[in-house]
Structures are given as structure tokens and as C-alpha cells.
Structure 1
């Protein structure tokens, strides 16, 4: 397989596109989400899903918001993340009715949507193993670097530049909805329409404005593998893929000053609001790295990680 170089992020349902292979015993279907500027309808993602189906002898479900590649790509950057999650919940409940368990692979932003589905959806299959590649779990602190021809990414950037925490950006630009500014952290907690809720961070305000079921559901995974790319310049900081971030402060910290997962308040909080401490202490949270830039998925990176998770 050629390296997959996809500027991905998160995406969903207008249809579920299924690839099948002879089912192996106890081999759950695999749910796949592409991301920013990409679609499961694209040729590259179709090839990827076909390889997953063959390798693991199971069904693979790729989920898109729209029915065309162009529209799907547009919605990956210019839409309301919460609306997409609601559609995803409905589609999974309907199209995977009767399926008891699934595994999942999220590419970049797609990992955030998979987490949202696991944490927030009712009446869906139990997710056993989740693998995310280059996912900004603790958000981004700088605007994404866009490739010259990626008009979806550039459009999302433009909306975000107008005011990342404006009502418009928080309902129309997906990147803005997981933009976590360490300097304006109080503003982020107040204005964020998606990530602050998804990560249960408002528990840090000292009140009960959080949902304990989010952490309970995430902690119910058999395994959660989060992969960081060691030269990633698209997700900033790249350690966000491991739930790390810059320290919250009144001014930007040094470039290499990163608060690791085990030091994050949502990890150390007595209530473990995101379930990460439970996963980690039970040996079910796996932080792994791949060489290279964002979503540079070589065979040496991709398959050993997925084999560990799915076999």
C-alpha cells in the first residue's frame, strides 16, 4: 500500500458505504471517518477501506455527511460539528441496528467525531477499540496549515480569522469549534460550542456543568490507541494527539512547554470526567507515534498499530 497522505479530520453520514470480506470469527465491523477536506467517497479512502476489509476479514463502514465528494468535503470544514454528530447518531442507530460491537479508525479530525459519537450517542453498537491518527484531542492552538489547493481548509481558516470565538465561527467553521487558546482559556470555556463540552472541561469551573456519562462511555472501551506524528505541523501542538497542550497562561509559553496528559486537570480531577485515567490505569490507553508529517501513514506505521488493536 502506498503511504496515505490525507489532510483529514472528521466527517460523517449521508450514507454508509460498506466493503465486505468473508467474516472472521469475533471480528467486529470497522467504522471509518475521514476528515477536513476529505471524504470516504474519495478514491484514496475507498482504497483504504477496501484494504481494511481484506486484512481483517470484516465489514468496513465509511460514513459521510453528503452523497457527493465535493459536498462531503465542504461540510468537513464548513458546518456545525454538533449538527453532524446528531446526524451521525441517527445514522448509526439506523444502519447498524442489530450489530452488537464495532471497532473504529479516525483520521485526524475524524477522531474527534468518533469520540463524540462514543460519548454522546444512544442506541448504537458498543465500540470496542478506537484508534485515532493525528487527532487534535486537546484542540489546536494555531490555525491549521493548508495545502495550496485545499479550498475547504482555506475557507475554514478565513471564517476562523474573523473571530474564532464569535457565534458565527463557532457554528460554521469546524476548526474554530476545536480551537483551544491557552491565553484566552476562560473565553474558550465560555464560548466553545464543541470541544470544551466534548472534553468535559467545564467541570474545572467548579460547578456541575459536565456530563459524567461522557467519561463513563469512553472508559468502557476495550482499548483506545492515540497516534501522534512526530513531525506534525498541521496539528499544533502535535502532542494534542496525546491529549497534551500548552499550559494555560496569560502569555504564550515556550515552544516546547507542553502539559502532558497525566498532568492535565481533566486527567487529575477526582471525578475523572473524561475517563482517561480509568483507561490508562487499566492499561487500555495506548499512546503511540509514527514518523513523519501529519497523516503520513506508511505500512510500517499503519498496520502494526491496527493489528495490535484489532487482532
Structure 2
């Protein structure tokens, strides 16, 4: 074994030790007066790294004076958790998460949820499909609720892998292979071929009630106290960025954004009712995708977590 190989092995072992030292999917739990918080990470991330959601967990515990926080780890280890963002169908992930939340006794009386990027629409699926334990407030940070039509960057993957995903989405997003094997294909929304999208999307078209009207989804979504959508105003990742506010291109082209209240999902999910009741909250933040400062989070998100 060469010297370079030995060095790489030592560095890898050291990295794994650091990861497992910081890898804590739950935190806090001593303050019963604050609703628990559930987090779901986005593509290319994991539940608990100290420079991403691990830091968010610590910040929430600090700001809620010991509130219970659970950051969802999909699968049984960090590798599966990372892979889930690309290769485990959202339906499988949502089903698994629903069972995990139901078994967590600390969530029995309700919880608030924060989804990061695609974790935002995944948690909305949890709210619609799994009313127990009850989700109170859903906060979507950069979630793509009307899908995406463009993938300019895929962080943490090689350029070759990124290029392959982009080609697959552009040419065969609604093929059985893509829908089964690639998470991003399940919320790829082609506005030029709307019928292909509605018939081919195996996740987003379903949770947006675009195939048939699922009244169970509507009833459960209405149970939310608030549905908070945060859009990153200078986003270069999500196309179009307005998807983060549940908007999308007008059918047949990819330039003009359709008004929120004219979309099919607005009517079929009864978002109109939620809007009239003041349950929908739209926040904008300057910066690129998920570029959130500690100060902004404390000012805009923490008060939502402290509401009774």
C-alpha cells in the first residue's frame, strides 16, 4: 500500500469520526412549552452536518430555549440519507417519514415543520397524506411547489453525473426509468407539454391534485395553521424561482409567470380558502438559493416557531 493511499485512508477515517461525532438527528427536548420542530434537508445535503442542518438545529434549540428538534435522516445511515436526495422516490421517502413521525412520542401533540428546497414539497406531501401527528405550521424555504423546468447546477455531484441528469430531464423526464430512479424527474414540470407532465409525473402532479381531485389531500392541507413559503429573490438554482411561491409558467411557454390565483393547483388544493383565512404567508429574501443568514432566520422564522 502506497504512502498516498495510507494518507487517504487515514483522512477518510478521521472524516468519518468527525461526521459521527456531530451526527445527531435530534436535539433539545427540555422545553415542553414549545412545539417540536421537524426539518427535511434538500438535494445534495444530509440531516445533520454541522455546517448545514446541524447548525440550524442548534440555532433552533438555542432560540426556543431547549425545544425538541428532529432533522429527518432518510434511511439508516449518512450515505443513504445523502443518496435519498437523488435516487429514492419521494413516495417511498414520504411513507417512511410518516411512519417515523408517528412513532416519535414527542411529536404526538403536534409539530412545526421546515423544509429546505425539495424538502419543502416533500413535507407538504407529509401534511397532505399523514395528518397524524398533526403538522401545525409548514415553512418551505425555497421549495419547488409547482416543480422546476431547468437544472443549472447539481451540487455535490461530479460534472459528468450532473450533465447526465440534465440530459435525462430534458429528454426523458417522464420515462419510467427516470421517474423511478431520479427524484428530480418526479417534480420536473414541462410547461410546454403539460399533458405529458400531468400523466408522467409520479409525485408532483399527484400531490398538486392535477390528475384527479383527492379531497383527503385538501382536507389535510386545510388543517395547517400556516403555510409559509420563502422565495430566494436572486435564485440561480430553482427555475422558475416563482415556484417557491406556488407559481409557474403559463401553459405553453416558459417565459411568462401565471398569476397565483389562476393556477390549477390554487383551485384544486383550495389554496384560495387558505388564502382567504390568512393561512398563506409569502416571504422574500435577497440572495441565492438557501442563502440564509442567522440574523434573518432569527427575525423571520423563529417567531413562527414560538407561536402558540
TM-score by length of 1: 0.84
Structure-1 separation of matches of 2:32 and 2:99: 28
Task: Classify the secondary structure of the residue corresponding to 2:257.
Answer: coil
2:294 equivalent among 277, 283, 299: 299
* Alignment CA distance shift 1:193-1:138 (3 Å): same
Gaps of 5+ in 2: 1-22
8 A Cα contact 2:102 2:108, kept in partner: no
SS of 2:114 mapped into structure 1 = strand
Shift of residue 71 of structure 1?
2.5
Secondary structure of the residue that 1:168 maps to in structure 2? helix
Runs of 4+ aligned structure 1 residues displaced above 6 Å come to: none
Larger Rg, first or second structure (1 or 2): 2
Q: Do the aligned residues in 1 keep the contact of 2:63 with 2:302 (CA within 8 Å)? A: no
Q: CA deviation at 1:76?
A: 1.0
Q: Distance in 1 between matches of 2:152 and 2:32?
A: 40
Larger RCO (CA under 8 A, 6+ residues apart): 1
Partners of 2:158 and 2:56 lie apart in 1 by: 23
Partners of 2:169 and 2:188 within 8 A in 1: no
Q: Does 1:35 align with 2:42?
A: yes
Cα deviation, residue 93, structure 1: 1.1
**Closer, same or farther: CA 253–63 of 1 in aligned 2, 3 Å:** closer
Of the three residues 268, 278, 281, the one matched with 1:286 is 281
Indicate conservation of the 8 Å contact 1:77/1:156, yes or no.
no
Residue among 45, 54, 60 paired with 1:46: 54
TM-score by length of 2: 0.85
What is the alpha-carbon distance in structure 2 between the residues aligned to residue 74 and residue 196 of structure 1?
A: 23
- Secondary structure, in 3 states, of the residue corresponding to 1:64? coil
Among 89, 98, 108, the alignment partner of 1:89 is: 98
State the aligned residue count: 280
- Contact preservation (8 Å) 2:142, 2:232: yes
Aligned equivalent of 1:276, options 271, 279, 285: 271
SS of alignment partner, residue 46 of structure 2: coil
Secondary structure of the 1:231 match is coil
1:9 paired residue number: none
Structure that is richer in helix per residue: 2
Contact 2:250 2:257 survives alignment (8 Å): yes
Of 240, 246, 255, the residue aligned with 2:243 is 240
Contact residue 77 and residue 173 of structure 1 kept, 8 A: yes
SS at match of 1:138: coil
CA offset digits 1:40-79 (Å, max 9, x no partner): 1322221211111121131001111123323211121112
8 Å Cα contact 1:18/1:61 also seen in 2: yes
Q: How far does residue 297 in structure 1 lie from its aligned partner after superposition?
A: 0.5
Q: Is contact 2:192–2:254 with CA below 8 Å preserved after alignment? A: no
Please give the secondary structure, in 2, of the residue aligned with 1:31. strand
Report the alpha carbon displacement of residue 97 of structure 1 after superposing the two structures with TM.
Answer: 6.7
Mapped to 1, the partners of 2:237 and 2:88 lie a distance apart of 20
Structure 1 pair 54/108, CA: closer, same or farther in 2 (3 Å)? Answer: same
Offset at residue 301 of structure 1 (A) = 2.6
Residues 8-45 of structure 1: per-residue CA shift (max 9 Å, x gap): xxxxxxx98210153052x1100001010111132222
User: Aligned partners of 1:52, 1:17: CA distance in 2, in Å?
Assistant: 13
1:218 and 2:221 aligned: yes
- Deviation by residue 1:176-235 (Cα, 9 ceiling, x = unmatched): 000010001001111110000011112xxxxxx221111111111111110000000111
